Chains A and B, each alone.
Chain A
Amino acid sequence: MLHIVNKSATERGALDSCLSMATKGSAVLLIEDAVYAATNGNAAAAKIQAAAADLKIYALGPDLAARGMAGRVLDGVNVVDYGGFVDLVAEHSNCQSWL
Chain B
Amino acid sequence: MSEMDDMDDGSGIIKKFMFLNRKAPHGTVYALEGLEVVLITAAFDQDVSMVFTDDGVYQLIKGVDTKGIEVKDFSRTYRALEGYDIEKLYVDQKSMDARGLTEEDLIVDVTVLSVDEMANLMAEQDVVISF
The yes or no verdict on A and B being binding partners is yes
Question: Of the candidates A42, A45, A66, A71, which one forms a contact with B68 in the assembled complex, judged by CB atoms under 8 Å apart?
Answer: A66
Contact B62 A68 (CB under 8 A): yes
Asked whether, in the complex, the Cβ of A8 is within 8 Å of the Cβ of B100, the reply is: no
Which chain B positions have C-beta within 8 A of A11? 23-24, 54-55
- In the complex, chain A residues 37-76 whose Cβ is within 8 Å of any chain B Cβ: 39-43, 45, 61-63, 65-72
Chain A interface size, as a band, is 20 to 34
* B79 close to A (CB within 8 Å): no
Count contacts between A and B, CB distance < 8 Å. 75
* Contact of A7 with B100 in the complex, beta carbons under 8 Å: no
State whether B66 touches A66 (Cβ < 8 A): yes
Chain B residues, CB < 8 A from A70: 63, 65
Q: Tell whether A10 pairs with B98 under 8 Å between CB atoms, given A32-B26, A66-B69.
A: yes
Q: Is the interface of B mostly helix, strand, loop or mixed?
A: loop
Q: How large is the interface on B (under 10, 10 to 19, 20 to 34, 35 or more residues)?
A: 20 to 34
Give complex CA distance A11, B31 in Å: 15
Per the bound structure, the CA–CA distance linking A67 and B73 in Å amounts to 10
Contacts of B26 in A (CB 8 A): 32-33, 63, 66-67
CA–CA, A60 and B75, complex, Å: 20
Contacting residue for A65 out of B65, B75, B101, CB 8 A: B65
**CB-based nearest A residue for B22:** A11
